A = this chain, B = another copy of it.
């Protein structure tokens, strides 16, 4: 075995077909949209026969899982960046929401694959909800920093979930034509996002605000 590869890479026959297939799928997804993402097209794009992928993925679903996994990683990185760059916890909450929706708007096909695979299994990936420093925990911790009661765990989890649902809802709605005039009236799409978030009670209510 060669030593120049990272842990998950597999330098076999083709070099690393698994990697090549995921990249080809991402490329196709970006270029042609989700409906063009057939196993055969991915194999074609990677330059192998239609049956080759079956040596690296159980079926088409498992390939989509891998694509989605990379998507969640990207989303998590975008959220981490948004949180790190925020000057205050309150700003961090807003920026997290904006970063989330912007990611979905900039990668609509990928975002769709991510949630489609998750809904099929009724299970969010660990990157978003399970791990110690998952995106969910990022939001929850930011809420605490912004003044939420860290001891009322139920209320805290509900607030985190509410924020998440709101962001996802906006992310899916933002693509509809019907809201174009609102984006314009707000002075741009991001300003629209901020306005919407202002109407959703994401940040804990400081009664002395």
- A residues sitting closer than 8 Å to B (CB atoms) are 112, 115, 118-119, 122-124, 129-130, 154, 157-159, 161-170, 172-173, 175-179, 182, 185-186, 195-201
Contacts and interface: CB of A to CB of B under 8 A. Distances in A.
B201 A165 contact: no
Contact of A201 (B123, B158, B179, B200): B200
Contacts of A154: 182, 185-186
Given A123-B177, A124-B176, A182 B169 contact: no
A165 B173 contact: yes
A176 B123 contact: yes
Nearest to A35: B120
A95 to B, nearest CB: 18
Given A115-B172, A201-B201, A196 B158 contact: yes
Nearest to A172: B168
Given A182-B158, A185-B154, A172 B175 contact: no
Contact of A199 (B175, B199, B201): B201
Contacts of A182: 154, 157-158, 161
Q: Among A124, A165, A172, which residue has the most Cβ atoms of chain B within 10 A? A: A165
A173 B161 contact: yes
Given A112-B119, A158-B182, A166-B200, 16 more contacts: A123-B177, A154-B185, A158-B199, A161-B179, A162-B166, A162-B197, A164-B169, A165-B169, A165-B173, A165-B196, A166-B169, A167-B169, A168-B173, A169-B170, A200-B200, A200-B201
Contacts of A200: 162, 165-166, 200-201
29 contacts: A115-B172, A118-B176, A122-B175, A122-B177, A123-B176, A123-B177, A123-B178, A130-B178, A154-B185, A154-B186, A157-B182, A158-B182, A158-B198, A158-B199, A161-B196, A161-B199, A162-B166, A162-B196, A162-B199, A163-B199, A164-B169, A165-B166, A165-B173, A166-B166, A166-B169, A167-B169, A169-B172, A199-B201, A201-B201
